[in-house]
Amino acid sequence: MVSYAAMLDVPRHVVEFLARLPAGHRRRIGTPKSSRALGPFRQAVLVLRWFREGSCVHCLARDAGISQATGYRYLHEGVDVLAGQAPDLHRVLAECRQQGMNHLILDGTLIESDRVAGVHLNAAGKEVDTWYSAKHKAFGANVQFVSAPDGTPLWVSDGEPGSVPDITAARSHCLPALYKAAADGLPTLADAGYQGAGIGIHHPFKKPRGSSHLRIHPDTRTRNALLRSVRALGERAAAELKERWRTLKRITLSPGRIGAIAKAALVLNNAWR
């Protein structure tokens, strides 16, 4: 075997921020001092390497000199303490109003994962894969996110199976809070997949299915173009999270953990900023 030195391209204050979280967790659960295979700082490095590089856990465990099982346990613990720091949507909306924002952007993304067993009956009574997204033609979880007008990610939801459409996931996790924000003068812009979301959620108009012969009125086309141009910056939110925390491009853990992983990535992203 050949050893080599490497640098983790993450600001040191992010590592120190993360290290304080498992240290506090260990104190809360009464872990005896020096009883862990890794200290909080080295555990933070392991977790950040997984988020930043998408490395396999057994490689991270080998580099840290611990077993694969311990590596997974430390990784899950790091994800949990980070996800516990994720911002609450109501607080995020209140801060946005205080900062004078004139709108927010709602969008969804599929965070891919390995295929897992699980089927259910869809609305047509057909048996389909629960975690398969027909829209993206991939397996994973649907995560909703709210971003600032400049595309800065502000909040992410829990993960829903990939077969769940954006509008259904949004109704479960964020639309009630966004209705209240819109009533207070903070509307939300979304794409055409959210048609029918409700008052205060502005989206482009699309022709009903089976009406391809109809022409959209010029005023409606202009409104659609303006909405798309304003909300285009919102596409940066998912891209920023996925490019900075590359493990979000494909999760090899249980897809049921994707929501917590996305929230943890948002907390890390806020600390980086």
Q: Is 267 in contact with 83 (CB distance < 8 Å)?
A: yes
pLDDT of residue 7: 80
pLDDT of residue 18: 95
| Domains in the chain, number | 2
The pTM of this model reads 0.89
Residue 121: Cβ within 10 Å count: 9
> Which residues pair with residue 141 across a beta bridge?
111, 161
Report d(CA 168, CA 172) in Å as an integer: 6
- Exposed e or buried b per residue across 186-197, where buried means at least 16 C-beta atoms within 10 angstroms of its C-beta: bbbbbbebbeeb
Same domain, 37 and 116: no
Residue range of the domain that includes 47: 12-83
Burial class (CB in 10 A: 0-12, 13-18, 19+), 127: exposed
Token pair 């396999």 in the structure block, residue:
56
Same domain, 94 and 76: no
Same domain, 225 and 94: yes
Flag whether 75 is in a domain.
yes
E strand map for 57-123? 104-112, 119-121
Same domain, 115 and 232: yes
Q: What is the pLDDT along the chain (273 residues), one digit of tens a residue?
A: 677 667 888 899 999 999 999 999 999 999 898 889 899 999 999 999 999 988 889 999 998 899 999 999 999 999 999 999 999 999 999 999 999 999 999 999 999 998 777 777 777 777 778 888 888 888 999 999 999 999 899 999 999 999 899 999 999 999 999 999 999 999 999 988 888 888 899 988 876 666 666 677 777 788 878 888 888 887 888 889 999 999 999 998 888 899 999 999 999 999 998
Secondary structure tally for the chain: helices H, strands E: 10, 9
Same domain, 58 and 174: no
